[in-house]
Amino acid sequence: MSKYGSFPGTRPRRLRTTPAMRRMVAETRLHPADFILPAFVREGVSEPVPIGSMPGVVQHTRDSLKKAALEAVEAGVSGIMLFGVPEDEKKDAVGTPGTDPDGILQVALRDVRAEVGDELLVMSDLCLDETTDHGHCGVLDDQGRVDNDATLERYAEMAQVQADAGAHVVGPSGMMDGQIGVIRDALDQIGREDVAILAYTVKYASAFYGPFREAVGSSLKGDRKTYQQDPANVGDSLRELALDLEEGADMVMVKPAGPYLDILARVADASDVPVVAYQISGEYSMVEAAAEKGWIDRDRAILESLTGIKRAGAQNILTYWATEVARGLR
């Protein structure tokens, strides 16, 4: 008995004493296979174009994209999600480059599949925002509103063209009602039951998308609050999850990841398919900017943020650090 009273009988600190001890008892572990690399490919450029608001990330040429895909394979990354950036003069009201077999995204899908085959899951963004002159994720009606059902027809065409170009997985990100069911039917109609659908089930109208809009050369005027979700709502996300699962989603996504870990945990608890989270451009850029200022330890912050996302329930994570972190883990 100490003069200060009884010493504690239970000492949790014993399991924190050394790096080996902490590693052994860790409850959450990151693995290279957890990661999916988002990548941008831009039409008509001869050199990769740096994205000013995302230090270290570029708009790839076709050749540099193939190199990035090979590097991802070598690092043990599971997938690469491709976003095509067409030349501005090719954009129009209905996003024609999105269904043109020779559109930049379809060309890039063929390039990457030829380069990596089945060693890397080749995924494609299925949305119109990069290809429309108004920058919205769908077709507009005569009052300038996004027409849900007319957009679904475009998504069906996009799914078929992307599957023909070699996508293992399509990722419809436009948040149109009924999009998963329509895309599943469109793929089945051309005998592509093998192509998986990664549903953007939870996609909030977030301020953290800012750098991404530079990355894809967005032409958006206004906002997407009539189809992306209100950050104040939880039940809306669970309703979207139920609908996407009923319509045939093979995987579901929560986006953004970091600001919505509570939503991610709720979705993971309720889902019987793999759950993916997207650590988006704003999350990436905040860490890079603070690290550049010397305000935080960059490498520790990256790993901590990714560990938090996985701990909350994500089986896989889209992150711009995918290849870098996977290399470090290996």
Q: What is the pLDDT of residues 21-34, one digit of tens each?
A: 999 999 999 999 99
Q: Among the options 3, 90, 91, 203, which is catalytic?
A: 203
Query: Which strand (E) or helix (H) includes residue 104?
Result: helix 104-116
Residue-level pLDDT at 178 = 96
Secondary structure class of 299 (helix, strand, coil)? helix
Q: Which amino acid makes up residue 184?
A: R
Report pLDDT for 224: 79
Q: Average the pLDDT over 227-238 and give the result.
A: 93
Prediction pTM value = 0.94
Q: Is 67 a catalytic residue?
A: no
According to the model, what pLDDT value does residue 6 have?
78
Does 66 qualify as catalytic in the annotation?
no
Catalytic residue among 67, 221, 225, 255: 255
Give every CB contact of residue 267 below 8 A, 6+ residues apart in sequence: 201, 202, 237, 238, 241, 252, 254, 275, 313
